[in-house]
Structures are given as structure tokens and as C-alpha cells.
Structure 1
Amino acid sequence: MKQLTCFFLLCCSLVFGSYSVEESVVKIYQTRNAYDYESPWSSPFQEKRGGSGFIISGNRILTNAHVVSDAAFIQVKKAHDSEKYLAEVEWLGHDCDLAILTVPDEAFFEGTYPLEIATEIAPVQAEVKVLGYPVGGVDLSVTRGIISRTEVCNYNFSRNSLLCSQIDAPLNPGNSGGPVLENGKVVGVAHQAIFFGQNLGYMIPIPIIRHFLKEVDEGKYHGFPKGGVRFQTMENPALRGFYQMGKETTGVLITLVNETSFFHDKLYPGDVLLAIDGVSIANDGTIDFENRKRVSLSHLFSIKYYDEFIDLEILRDGERLTLSVHLQSNMAGQDLVGEIQYNKRPTYYTVGGLVFQPLTVNYLIHAFEQDSPALNFLYYLKHGKISEDRSQVVVLTRVLPDSVNVGYQKIVDEVVSSVNGVKIRNIRDLINAFEKSTGLYIHLALETDGEIVLDREHVLERNTKILSNYLIPNDRSEDLR
């Protein structure tokens, strides 16, 4: 009888546990706004997308940012339920590809319970389950696999390099945002896959999830700091000898410090970075991580919080120094092209049929879809940094044919260097240069392909007609008015 009772309780526990977990994993339906960077003044068109998410404490849903970004309308549905509920985005962490949804109708949460988020990162070789709603079916899907490695990798959604874990469970479109479970606890959020590799998927691990949730719970999301420095590995013994490193000393050579970096005027090219917060840096640029694994030293920068201090140990001219640096949140931006923009209409300005936009990742994606983007665009994407001389790359993206711009109508995707001899630092500079022109001509110097000269009076005469002919409601985007 005692054995029968134990068997009954075990069965009930498994059924209840399985049911509860399934009910806490939701399917997300999204209608998003998509923008036309060829004609940036156009109203957005709508696309339907789907993904997964799961209920966490506080009647909230955790999912991927890329599942709900640019959303005009979101609905969620529980497993085994026919009803869809309206959902709203409460928090977006584009840099870490995480988001929080809320559901105004509290009835949605009846019969569910929040999934518990683990406190520690799951070890390599841990067996995990991935739950979600991938394409190819309607109901909840459960797949199994193991964590094969954890390292710093590129997040496709944001281009950020953050900690991630690779799993051999198959991930397909629709899995994004679903929980990865080990022993019933969340150890990751499914977020991207490599489709040319068999069963190669990636999840966002616990340190990134908890960093995001901590800031959300505090009511203000700053994101993940970027070091804003470049370094060279020091595996060559002659290089180490040149910089007066002892046999037991390891580190990396600082080669560049961005003007907007936290470390500007504190670190200099030629410094050898030995340790961060007491963690030694190897000559190959890696650090000791969990279970004797190694990851890039960049993890030590990104896992910090803004407004904290970070301690650096360096070697400068053979002398060991310790620096304590304040990670000020107002110094967060540094890339000239920046990150992908979401929930934002394209920025543009048009005059005399010339259409100008700042170079953004969004525009580069458009350029890739149309053709290969200009090589200087790719240079700015990889190497361009904000400085006093330039905060945006301003691009002449196209020319709308009109009598005022005859002869220039084949010019596309040219970076504007100056207008009437005034160097262009950003798109507002360009607008000011046009509007303050008083001479007979307006002269534009282009970075790679010559120049444009317009008759100023002719431009003023034709502007309104050009806007009318091409159904453009305003000569500039709302953020420039």
C-alpha cells in the first residue's frame, strides 16, 4: 500500500509539473512595422511574425527583443488554450536581445506559475530541454540536447558581443524567446541558430538574463557597457620582451582607446592590460571562466553595470599601475554607425531632389538587400567612432529626378564631406548648411565620387514641386523638425 501511495504521488507530481511548465510557455503573435529606407518618408508596411516566451515572477513574460521589436500589435496564447490575449512591451534590451511583456487581462495568468530562473550558469555537457513554438506545427514543441560550450559570441540582433551558450538541440524560427530548462529551472533563453550547421543553436545564459532583469527590477535599463578599446594579443615572446613583461606576466597590448570610451585619458596605446577586477588576462586575450573554461576578456567589461567602478591593473613603461574607472552611463555610445534602430522611423532630409540619411545599420541592411554596400560604408561600420569632428556619417542615398539636378541622377550612396566648404559632422549640420546658403550656388563635396553644384534659386523654386511630384509629405523626418 505504501509503495502504491508513493507511485501515485510521483505520477501526480510529474503530470502536474509537466502541465505547469507547458502552461507557462506562451506563443507570441506579432504584427510589426517595417520601414522603407529607399523612400524613408513612406508609411510603414506591416509584417506578421511569431515567437515564444515564458512567464516569470510578477506576471511578466520574458522573451527575445527581436520577437517583439517594432511591434504595432502583440497577442499571446498559452499551450492548450484557444484564446489569444493582448500583450504590451514593458522593457526592451536590444543589446542583449531580451524583452519583458505584460498582459493587461489578469485572467491570462490563471492556471500558470512563474518559471524559476537559475542562479548559476549551467555547466558544459548539462542536459537541457528547449520549449517553444517553432515553425512546422501549432502546438508546443519540446526538444532535448546538451550545452556544448559557453563563450563570448556575436548577437545577430544587436551586433553586440556578449556571453552565450551553444546547444545541440535544434532551434528553428519560432523557438526564439523560449526557455531552456535544466532540472526544471530556466538556464537560458533560445535566441539564434546557425542554419548551415546541423543542430547548432544558441541561448542567452544566466549571467546575461540576470543582468537584464536586475536593471529592469530597479526601474531603469542602461544596458551592457562596452569597453571602447582595442587590443592586440601578446603571444609573441619578443613583443612581451619589448614591453618589459616578466616571464610570469601576461596580458594584452592596448592599441586604441575611443574618445567616448570610459577609459579615455586613463588607458593609452602602449599600455599592457594585465588584469580586470583582479582577474588575470592571458596573452591570448582570454580569462579563466566557469569550470576552467576560457572566454574573451570583453566579458569582464560587459557584465559590469553602468555607474559602477572597474579596477584595471596595467603595465606602463615597465611600471605596474592600478586604475579605478567610473563607468558613467552618459558615455555609453561610441560607434559612429551605432546599433540597429527599432521602433523608430528613418531619419531623412530632402532638398532639390537630393535625399540624405545618416548611415545606420538599418540602412546598411537595406543596401545589402539591394546590392553590395559601398566599401567605405563597411569601413565606417567596423572602425568608425564618434568624435568631436563627426557624430554621424551623412549619406546622399538617392536623387529624385528633376530639372534642378540633371546630370546627378545616377549618384547614389555617397558620403557628404562638406557643403559650401563647411565640414558636415551630422545631418543637422547639413540642413543648416543648406538653409544658411546665400550665394548663387550650393556646392557639395562627396567623399569618393566628385561633387555636386546646384543653382540655389532653382532649388528654392523646385522644392515644393518635387515634394508634390514624389508624394513626400515633408522635406524632413519628424525628429528633425
Structure 2
Amino acid sequence: MSLLASPLPLLPHAITSRPVLASTRLLSTTARRLFSTQRPSPADLAVVKLHVTRQRPSWTVPWQTTPVEASSGSGCLLSLPQSAGPSWRARNFVLTAAHVVADSIYLTVQRNTDYFEPNKFPAVVRAVCHDSDLALVEVTNDEEGFRNGGNHPSPDRPAAEMKPLELARWDDLPELRDTVQVVGYPVGGDKLSVTSGVVSRCEVVEYSHSARPALGITVDAAINAGNSGGPVMCGSSDKILGVAFQKYVSHGVENQGHAVPSYLIWRFINRVIAGAADAESLTSTIGGVGDGSLDLPCLGVTCQPVENDQFKKWLGVSAGDAAVGMDRKGVMVSWSVNPALKKYDVITAINDTPLDSFGHVWYLGRRLYMTALLDSFYVGDAVELAVLSRGDAGPVVERRTVGLMSPKDCFLVPKGQMYDVKAPPYLIAGGDKGSRIGGFVVLIVFS
């Protein structure tokens, strides 16, 4: 039987043309020992493993809870901006994904066991944004020295000290083919895992945790269960380009992992700092389900592309007609709960950034769907829209100041699953004794 056709795995020495000498093995052992004493990278020390105990509510039987579950994820010690002040920067904040800590009742953080003792430090969730799948966790017990205490006693390892990782600039969206590294603790082992790849795409994708569209970085580096919350590092520096949070799984699809880009992380961090008077006042979770301050905003409309020539003529956006003195490309509002916009309005620009007929804008150095631009704002912020509306005398161009809304205010039943709800509200109504149903009718009320 040919070796190539053999179902058995090939051993390394089976394909070599000479035997492996003992001196070669000795040299390899010495080289590995010398390599093990080299200084680790900042990400090797700053990336941690989160152990989560969670208990979700039961939405079908709301007076009960589901069984307790245990899971794990990844995160990294985060360096907050200088503007936050020393009181913020001195605390041990860990950046991770929201779905890693959603519905958690107990949380611990474990450092890299190659350089530190395998102690687990209690932690709490300080802020969470489910829309962009981001969370900020703080290590609360630092008596043993989270950053530099409990070094590994092995003589082959130098004394280690955790240093927080810095975020890339908010407008630093990687280019295609840029080299990246995904660092975390995926399934298959307990040790730190590092996979390499390149950026293969940057576009608006659906975040599976919140069912919301937002900008995502697609990488071909391996992302598996347990990698969620871990940083995606720039290959040429030690800065965080994004946070790994999901991968696309389907028949015939391979190597499509997604990361939250840095500008959404900056949006999240800046709001957390601005939302608390100081670091000491950040003692409870903010940005939860009941607090919409961290939600990704929306216009409160549904839009459709304007492609058909007859449709363009009817709307007043026919090609070559520049009577209104502006570019007439844009998207048409087909449904609206925003009082400032109505059906058949054509949005042509957002804050003087023009839209094309498919709703794309030039933002962060590339053409992206307008959701990416709107996500840089917060709920309640005002944006100026250039709107082409149909009037009796023909199309009219208007400048409208529109307030951004929360998606929770746009639908009777919010899109996506609800998280961090300890006790879902419900109403029990008495059944009709004369009916065949009898008993009780349970109505679950979403608030």
C-alpha cells in the first residue's frame, strides 16, 4: 500500500531520508530551553481566561430558571486612554465579549499558567453592550497581585509582569491582507493559543449575539469556541485591532472568523468612562438591558436601494437631473417610526457624507454600508440628513436634523434574545371556567 493512500497518519521520521541522531535531539532540547527563557510578548501575558457560571431565565416558564451552566472564554487586560486619569488606569479592567459573560452569576479570571500560578481571581462585569458584543470586566480581588504576583516558579521562565494592551486608533481599520494574530483559550486544551492569518474582508455583518448589523473584520485565522473575547492583534505591533466574537459556519464555508473593530471598542470605552463620575463610582453594571446608553443607534427606518430607472424618475432622482444642486443618489425610506422621516423620502447624505444608491458611504477609508457610520454615534445624538422628498411641485431637497433611536423603541418585540434579565415580568390571568381550557392563561409581558 502506498504511504500516500494509507489512512494512518505519517510520522515525521517516516518521510526523512536519514535517521534522527541523538545529538540532534539534544540540540533541539537545548534550543527549546533557550527559547523558553526569552521574554514573552505582551499579549502572552495580558490575555486571560474567563471562567463563567451562568443561569438563564426561562422565557416559557418565567417563574423558573434554567439549570446552572459553566463555560469559558477569553479576554485581555486593557490599557485605558490617558484622558481617563490615573484612578481608572490603575484598576484591572479586562475587555471581553458580551456573550461570554451574559447571564453570569459568578465569574473568575485566570492568567497564563505558563508564566503565573493557576490562581483564579474573582471578577465582576462593570459594563456591557450586547449590540456590539462587548463587555468590561474588573478583577475585584488584587491582594495576591494580579499583574505581577504569583510568578511561575520554574527556572526556565523569567519573572513576568502583566502589562495592559493598548487599543489601535479608533480610525485604524486594517487593510486587506494585513497580518493578524488571534490570541485566546479555545477548546482543545488549557494553554494559551495563538493563530495567525490575514484580514480577508471588512464590511457590515450580522452579530449573532444581538442579531444587529454592525461593522466586522473578517480574518482567516482560526477562531473556535473559547476564543470569543480574545484580542485580534496587529501583526506588526502589540496593539489590539479587534475582539474575536464569532465565526461563520455553513456547508462549504471555511476560515471566516469575525472581530469587533477598534472604533466600536473606543465608542464603548469612551461611553463607559463618560458615564461614571470617576472610577470609584463604577461599582455596578451599567449599559445593561435596562440602560440604552450603550446601544447601537438607528434612524428608525427601513430603507431600500433605488436602482430602477423608472422608479428613480418617479422619486425625482433621475440621472442627469441636477436642478436641486446636489447628488441625487440615495436610498428610499420604505417604512418609518421616526417622525422626522416618512415613506418615499430619499436619504442622500448623512452629516454631509453622501450615500450611493445602495446606502454605502465613504467612511474609515473605504466604502461601507451607512450602518457603520451611524454606529459611531450614541442613542439620542442628532445627525443632519439631506433628504429628497416628493412635493406637489416636484422633488424638494431638505436639511433635517434627526435624532437617533434605540432599536428597542422601534419594535413591539425587540429583535434578538434578551440577556441579563434575572426575573422576566409576566402576568397570570384567570381562565374561563366554562371553557374546555380552564385553569390559567399565562401572558409573558416584555418590558
Pair 476,154 (structure 1): closer, same or farther in 2 beyond 3 Å: closer
CA distance in 2, matches of 1:353, 1:184: 63
Of residues 239, 242, 257, the one that matches 1:185 is: 239
2:244 matches 1:244:
no
* Map of 1:371 onto structure 2: none
Secondary structure of the 1:337 match is: coil
Q: Calculate the aligned-residue CA RMSD, in Å.
A: 2.6
Structure 1 position 37, deviation (Å): 3.0
Output one character per residue of 1:297-317: Cα deviation in whole Å (capped at 9) or x when no partner. Answer: 222222212343201011123
Structure 1 position 153, deviation (Å): 1.0
Of residues 111, 124, 137, the one that matches 1:88 is: 124
Residues 299 and 404, structure 2, Cα contact 8 Å, conserved in 1:
no
2:306 matches 1:256:
no
What are the equivalent positions in structure 2 for 1:6-17 lying under 5 Å apart? Answer: 15-17=38-40
* Map of 1:174 onto structure 2: 226
Which amino acid is 2:214 matched to?
L
Of residues 365, 369, 373, the one that matches 1:296 is: 369
Of residues 246, 258, 268, the one that matches 1:202 is: 258
Which amino acid is 2:349 matched to?
A
Structure 1 position 116, deviation (Å): 0.8
CA distance in 2, matches of 1:15, 1:161: 43
CA distance in 2, matches of 1:267, 1:211: 26
What are the equivalent positions in structure 2 for 1:389-468 lying under 5 Å apart? Answer: 404=433, 407-408=436-437
CA distance in 2, matches of 1:42, 1:76: 29
What are the equivalent positions in structure 2 for 1:112-127 lying under 5 Å apart? Answer: 112-119=162-169, 120-127=172-179
Q: Which has the higher contact order (CA 8 A, sep 6+)?
A: 2
Which amino acid is 1:201 matched to?
G
How many residues are treated as equivalent by the alignment? Answer: 350
Secondary structure of the 2:417 match is: coil
* Gap regions ≥5 residues in structure 2: 1-33, 80-88, 149-160, 277-286, 288-292, 321-326
* Map of 2:204 onto structure 1: 152
Residues 352 and 405, structure 1, Cα contact 8 Å, conserved in 2:
no
2:153 matches 1:109:
no
CA distance in 2, matches of 1:117, 1:126: 17
Pair 104,15 (structure 1): closer, same or farther in 2 beyond 3 Å: same
Structure 1 position 148, deviation (Å): 0.8
* Map of 2:43 onto structure 1: 21
Output one character per residue of 1:56-84: Cα deviation in whole Å (capped at 9) or x when no partner. Answer: 12320000010001101111101023111
2:60 matches 1:41:
no
* Map of 2:27 onto structure 1: none
Residues 168 and 239, structure 2, Cα contact 8 Å, conserved in 1:
yes
Structure 1 position 328, deviation (Å): 6.7
Residues 153 and 162, structure 1, Cα contact 8 Å, conserved in 2:
yes
Pair 267,476 (structure 1): closer, same or farther in 2 beyond 3 Å: closer
Structure 1 position 476, deviation (Å): 9.1
Residues 74 and 227, structure 2, Cα contact 8 Å, conserved in 1:
yes
Pair 301,24 (structure 1): closer, same or farther in 2 beyond 3 Å: same
Of residues 157, 176, 185, the one that matches 1:133 is: 185
TM-score, normalisation: structure 2: 0.73
* Map of 1:61 onto structure 2: 94
* Map of 1:430 onto structure 2: none
Which structure's residues are more often helix, by fraction?
Answer: 1
Secondary structure of the 1:188 match is: strand
CA distance in 2, matches of 1:69, 1:78: 21
TM-score, normalisation: structure 1: 0.68
* Map of 1:429 onto structure 2: none
Structure 1 position 326, deviation (Å): 3.4
* Map of 2:217 onto structure 1: 165
Structure 1 position 198, deviation (Å): 1.3
